[in-house]
C-alpha cells in the first residue's frame, strides 16, 4: 500500500528522535506544522504540501516503512536489529539519539565470576535478538525474559540477575544501584527507506535523502 507516487510520508516517533530529527528535516526544506508533544494528531502536515509525517511508536517505525505505509522513517539501531530490517534500505547513520546497549547487574553481583563458573543467568530485556546474539557469541548461558519497560526494576524485584538495556548518561542505572558490566554495541538512529518507494519515487526521495546526508554531523 504505497502512498501515491507524488507525495512522501515520513514515520517518526515522538520525543528525542523527533526533536533531533527536526534540524535534519529542515536541511531538506521540510518543517512540520505541529509539535506532536503538544498536538494529539498522529498525521502532521509540513510546509511542503507533498510531505507529511506520521507519528508512531519507536518500535513500529520499521514496520510502517517495510509495508510502504511510510516511504522514509527514522529508527534506532536497537529497534532495527529487533525488527530484522526486511524490506528496508538503510542508507544513513544520522548519529542522533546516541547511546549504548549494555549488560547491567546489581552493584553487589559478581557478573564476571558467575560467567567464569558457567552459571545460567536470568536476563530481562526488551531486546531479545540483541541479547541472544550477544550471550551466544560469548558462550554465556542465559534465560531471556522479555519485558516492555523499566528493565532496571527486574533485578531489584528479583525477576532477573541482569538486564540488557540502553544507557546514555548512566543516571538511571546509578539511581537504581545497578552497574554496567559489558557494552554490547554503540547505538544511534538510522534513516530507513522503503525499497520499492526508492525505485518508484526516486526523483522525489533522493534529494531528501541527499540533503539529510549533507546535514549529518
Ligand atoms: P519507547 O518507544 O520504547 O519509549 P524510547 O522513547 O525510550 O522508546 O526510545 C526511542 C529510541 O531512542 C530508542 O529506540 C533508542 O534508539 C533511542 N534511545 C533510547 N534511550 C536512549 C538514551 N538514553 N539516549 C539516547 N537515545 C536513546
Ligand atoms: Mg519513550
User: Ligand 1 in contact with 95 (CB < 6 A)?
Assistant: no
Please determine whether the domains at 8-97+188-216 and 99-186 fall in the same fold group of CATH. Answer: yes
Q: Residue 15 Cα, ligand 2 centroid: separation in angstroms?
A: 7
Over residues 159-167, the mean pLDDT reads 98
User: Ligand 1 in contact with 80 (CB < 6 A)?
Assistant: no
User: Ligand 1 in contact with 35 (CB < 6 A)?
Assistant: no
Distance of alpha carbon 111 from alpha carbon 14, whole angstroms: 35
Query: Is 155's pLDDT higher than 80?
Result: yes
The bound ligand whose nearest atom lies closest to the alpha carbon of 62 is 1
Q: Residue 171 Cα, ligand 1 centroid: separation in angstroms?
A: 15
User: Ligand 1 in contact with 16 (CB < 6 A)?
Assistant: yes
Strand partners, 55: 12
**CA-to-CA separations, 187 to 66, 74, 96, 141, 167, in angstroms, rounded:** 21, 13, 9, 24, 10
Q: Which pLDDT tens digit goes with each residue over 78-134?
A: 999 999 999 999 999 999 999 999 999 999 999 999 999 999 999 999 999 999 999
Domain ranges of the chain: 8-97+188-216, 99-186
* Structure confidence at residue 3 (pLDDT): 54
From 15, 76, 180, the mutation candidate for ligand 1 (largest count of ligand atoms within 8 A of CB) is 76
User: Ligand 1 in contact with 96 (CB < 6 A)?
Assistant: no
* Structure confidence at residue 4 (pLDDT): 60
**Residue owning the nearest CA to atom 9 of ligand 1:** 58
| Beta pairing class for 8-12 and 72-76 | parallel
Separation of CA 41 from chain center: 22
Index of the ligand 1 atom closest to the CA of residue 189: 16
What percent of the chain has a predicted confidence (pLDDT) above 70?
98
Distance of alpha carbon 201 from alpha carbon 28, whole angstroms: 16
User: Ligand 1 in contact with 78 (CB < 6 A)?
Assistant: yes
Index of the ligand 1 atom closest to the CA of residue 172: 23
**Residue owning the nearest CA to atom 5 of ligand 1:** 58
For domain 8-97+188-216, which architecture applies?
Answer: 3-Layer(aba) Sandwich (3.40)
* Structure confidence at residue 25 (pLDDT): 98
| Beta pairing class for 121-125 and 142-146 | parallel
Q: Which pLDDT tens digit goes with each residue over 29-79?
A: 999 999 999 999 999 999 999 999 999 999 999 999 999 999 999 999 999
User: Ligand 1 in contact with 193 (CB < 6 A)?
Assistant: no
For domain 99-186, which architecture applies?
Answer: 3-Layer(aba) Sandwich (3.40)
Distance of alpha carbon 39 from alpha carbon 89, whole angstroms: 30
Quickly state the pLDDT bin for 217 (edges 50, 70, 90): confident
Amino acid at each position: 500500500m504505497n502512498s501515491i507516487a507524488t507525495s512522501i510520508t515520513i514515520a517518526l516517533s515522538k520525543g528525542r528522535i523527533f526533536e533531533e530529527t527536526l534540524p535534519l528535516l529542515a536541511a531538506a526544506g521540510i518543517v512540520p506544522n505541529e509539535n506532536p508533544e503538544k498536538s494529539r494528531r498522529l498525521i502532521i502536515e509540513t510546509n511542503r504540501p507533498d510531505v507529511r509525517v506520521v507519528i508512531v511508536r519507536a518500535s513500529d517505525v520499521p514496520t510502517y516503512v517495510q509495508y510502504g505505509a511510510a516511504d522514509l522513517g527514522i529508527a534506532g539501531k536497537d529497534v532495527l536489529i529487533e525488527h530484522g530490517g526486511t524490506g528496508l534500505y538503510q542508507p544513513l547513520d544520522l548519529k542522533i539519539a546516541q547511546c549504548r546497549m549494555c549488560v547491567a547487574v546489581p552493584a553487589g553481583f559478581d557478573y564476571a565470576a558467575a560467567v567464569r563458573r558457567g552459571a545460567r543467568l536470568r536476563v530481562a530485556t526488551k531486546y531479545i535478538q540483541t541479547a541472544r546474539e550477544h550471550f551466544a557469541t560469548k558462550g554465556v548461558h542465559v534465560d531471556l525474559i522479555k519485558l516492555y519497560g523499566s528493565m532496571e526494576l527486574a533485578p531489584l524485584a528479583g525477576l532477573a540477575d541482569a538486564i540488557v538495556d540502553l544507557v546514555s548518561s548512566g543516571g538511571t542505572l546509578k539511581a537504581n544501584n545497578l552497574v554496567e558490566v559489558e557494552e554490547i554495541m554503540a547505538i544511534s538512529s538510522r534513516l530507513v527507506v522503503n525499497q520499492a518507494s526508492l525505485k518508484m519515487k526516486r526523483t522525489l526521495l533522493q534529494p531528501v535523502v541527499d540533503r539529510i546526508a549533507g546535514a549529518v554531523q
